[in-house]
Chains A and B, each alone.
Chain A
Amino acid sequence: MRTFDPRRYTGFFTITLACLFILYAPLAVVAVYSFNDSLSITRFEGVSLRWYQDVFFGLEAGKFRTAAWNSFTIAIMAATAATMIATAAAIGMVRGGNFKGKPASFALISMPIMVPEIVTAVATLIFFSAIGFSLGYVSILVAHIVFCIPFAYLPISARLQGIEATFEEAAQDLYASRWNAFRYVLAPIMAPGIMSGFLLAFIISLDDFIITNFVKGAGVETLPTAIFGAVKQGIKPDIMALSTLLLLFSILIVTLSYLIGRTGDAKNPE
């Protein structure tokens, strides 16, 4: 007779709690200290919103606003472009039959994930300087589109692999054109995957520091490069307030993505 449950191991629950504690403690501490009513970042002296006011209206507010604008516009455009490219690629790979260059094609599409970020940054900088492409907003955007493609591709192709081909084949048997079979049959079923791909690409673009730092040139900043520059002079309370705002924004996006993924599963026709 068995005397124990082979699924249970003593201590694993404690380690899981420790894992979550480690993951959240630094973020929670910064969020708490961003409400600190004191110039000192060491002592906590009462709750206030003064650092949030500082982020929006303080001395450096203009710099942060421009950086935030750059970050968000680049992230939206890069994620949109990457999602369109990745959706087409996913259909070509998953629904394009077997072809000779398939492994090579997959390797090329996942190349931005395989190559270390710093190497991508160096290669892109060298390339832009060699072809005389001036560094700035556009060079950041181009670099972001490239590394966002595999992040959009993975959830989209995963979703597409779970959809039976009978749907678009039935549509085509009923004389729908290939485009209409995609537009009215395949795209609605793929939508949750496309949306997750877009959100992942959006977050990855917003998150990027290293590649942006290399290809941004002088004068153009995104939020991560602006924060990095500020942190080099020490962690000030307004940076903590700004970080907390970005933190909340990320949590909002991931919650959205989680909910979309769940409704997607519920509607899955399988």
Chain B
Amino acid sequence: MAAVGGGRTVSSAFAPIRLWLLLPSWLTIGFFLLIPVLLMLVYSFLTKEFRGGVIWEFSLAAYDQFLFDRGLFGDDPPTIQWTYITIFARSIIQATIATIMCLLIGFPTAWYIATRPASSRAVWLFLVTVPYWVNLLIRTVSMKFLIRENGPMNEALLGTGILDAPLQLINTDFAVQLGLFYSYLPFMVLPIYAAVERYNFALSEAAADLYASHWTIMRSIVLPVVKPGIIAGCILVFVPSLGAFLAPDLLGGAKNFMIGSLIEEQFKGQAGNWPFGAAASMILLSMVLVVLFFYARSQAREQV
């Protein structure tokens, strides 16, 4: 019997061959991503081989190194090792600031686009999404080119007499935040746009008729309704920012090390400590899973 209402009822025209349709994706992702992630977990508990690789011997050294400093030969009494904790804390702070910047610019932008006439919305959305399709590396390099000490931005600011001395932006915390903000801004705009577009403006109009002020309407009526879109946008910006590599590497310099650079260095750089890199990756992955878990739980609660 044909299902009425299209997508709303679950159609099962292809149910008899469902397994064969799903198997290629399960096998590809299961074999080349799920198993590798589990193997990475195993590697984080192995002993490091110098010059990369591992020795198959159980060890907690990677996690121990993350938290404690035991001196050059490993037999000093352990003291707390702040280096890596600082790098993780800095990553969380940088990602949080980038998320807030994206929200402050992204929300008004999404709101403005969603309140345009239907015909021009698509064009505005198109303008916001184009940069997302441009290579992230090229975008980050462009940002570096623009804000560097002798770059066009400083030239313009000095040339017009707004500044007397060039702005030292490159290799600062702010440059990294700006880079992350620039990388993931469209991720904030799109879900908020989708939420505002569905928002029923009759609610705002009713509140306005009852003498609610402009900002009261925003705070007490709009924000609670479009909150799921805001949360989705924040997660879409925060999660990739946390493990970002390009923005901190190209814009931040050595002083602004983030998790991504720390992990990269264990495999591609001088450090060459695979179990430690695997452990750092596991910690990053766990942090992301915690964020996603709370998100899924809040979503489930919204639907009840």
Give me the interface of A with B, judged by CB distance under 8 Å.
2, 4, 6-9, 11-13, 15-16, 18-20, 22-27, 29-30, 33, 41-42, 84-86, 88-89, 91-99, 105, 108-109, 111-112, 114-120, 122-127, 129-130, 142-143, 145-146, 149, 153, 161-166, 168-170, 172-173, 178, 181-182, 203, 206-207, 209-210, 213-214, 224, 227-228, 231, 235, 239-240, 243, 246-247, 250-251, 253-254, 258, 262, 270
Contacts and interface: CB of A to CB of B under 8 A. Distances in A.
Contact of B39 (A86, A105, A126, A161): A126
B281 A118 contact: yes
Contact of B10 (A98, A122, A145): A98
Given A26-B139, A108-B34, A123-B281, A130 B39 contact: yes
Nearest to A243: B138
A7 B201 CA distance: 8
Given A206-B135, A254-B133, A124 B285 contact: no
A164 B7 contact: yes
Nearest to B217: A6
Which secondary structure dominates where chain A touches chain B? helix
27 contacts: A15-B109, A16-B124, A23-B182, A26-B145, A27-B139, A30-B141, A30-B146, A42-B151, A42-B155, A97-B11, A99-B18, A108-B25, A112-B29, A116-B242, A116-B285, A122-B278, A123-B36, A124-B33, A142-B32, A146-B33, A162-B7, A165-B3, A165-B11, A172-B13, A209-B137, A231-B250, A251-B130
Contact of A95 (B13, B145, B150, B151): B13
Given A9-B218, A13-B112, A166 B3 contact: yes
A197 to B, nearest CB: 13
Interface size class of B (residues with CB under 8 A): 35 or more
B6 interface: yes
B37 interface: yes
Contact of A164 (B6, B36, B138, B264): B6
A122 B281 contact: yes
A16 B246 CA distance: 26
Interface stretch (B67-75, B80-88, B207-215, B225-233): B207-215
A15 B106 CA distance: 9
Contacts of A105: 22, 26
A41 to B, nearest CB: 7
A4 B21 contact: no
B57 to A, nearest CB: 15
A95 B25 contact: no
B15 A24 contact: no
Interface of B: 2-7, 9-22, 24-26, 28-30, 32-37, 39-40, 43, 53, 105-106, 108-109, 111-113, 115, 122, 124, 126-131, 133-139, 141-146, 150-152, 155, 182, 185-186, 189, 201, 204-205, 207-209, 214, 217-218, 239-240, 242-243, 245-246, 250, 259-260, 263-264, 267-268, 274, 277-278, 281, 284-285, 288, 292
B146 A95 contact: no
Nearest to A262: B122
Contacts of B14: 91-92, 95-96, 178, 182
